[in-house]
């Protein structure tokens, strides 16, 4: 997530991002297939565009959610390699 934040031009401070991750809790991951993917998707799902966020933050969050949605669509049609490529694009 820190690399994503850097690639997006640091819409969040490092501390803000760490705080959001720690505060997430990830309790729902305890009851489902708990792998890195489920934790990542759970965190992305928890992100919201808030009225007090900057425009840059809201745009970065929306872009991240769109990419994750595209990856989920590929997974749904049983194209895991395409899903992986979409997620990888976040970190290039």
Q: What is the 3-state secondary structure (H, E, C) of 1-69?
A: CHHHHHHCCCCCCHHHHHHHHHHHCCHHHHCCCCCHHHHHHHHHHHCCCCCCCCHHHHHHHHHHHHHHH
Q: How many CB atoms lie within 10 A of CB 68?
A: 20
At residue 49, the pLDDT reads 67
Confirm whether pTM is higher than 0.95. no
Instruction: Please give the chain's pLDDT, 92 residues, in tens.
Output: 899 999 999 999 999 998 888 887 766 666 666 788 888 888 898 888 666 788 999 999 999 999 999 999 999 999 999 999 999 998 87
- Number of C-alpha atoms within 13 angstroms, CB side, residue 21? 13
């Amino acid at each position: 997530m820190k690399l994503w934040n850097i690639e997006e031009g640091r819409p969040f401070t490092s501390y803000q991002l760490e705080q959001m991750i720690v505060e997430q809790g990830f309790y729902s991951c305890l009851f489902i297939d708990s792998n890195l993917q489920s934790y990542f998707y759970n965190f992305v799902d928890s992100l919201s565009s808030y009225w007090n966020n900057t425009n840059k933050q809201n745009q970065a969050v929306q872009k991240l959610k769109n990419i994750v949605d595209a990856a989920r669509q590929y997974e749904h049609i049983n194209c895991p390699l395409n899903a992986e490529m979409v997620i990888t694009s976040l970190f290039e």
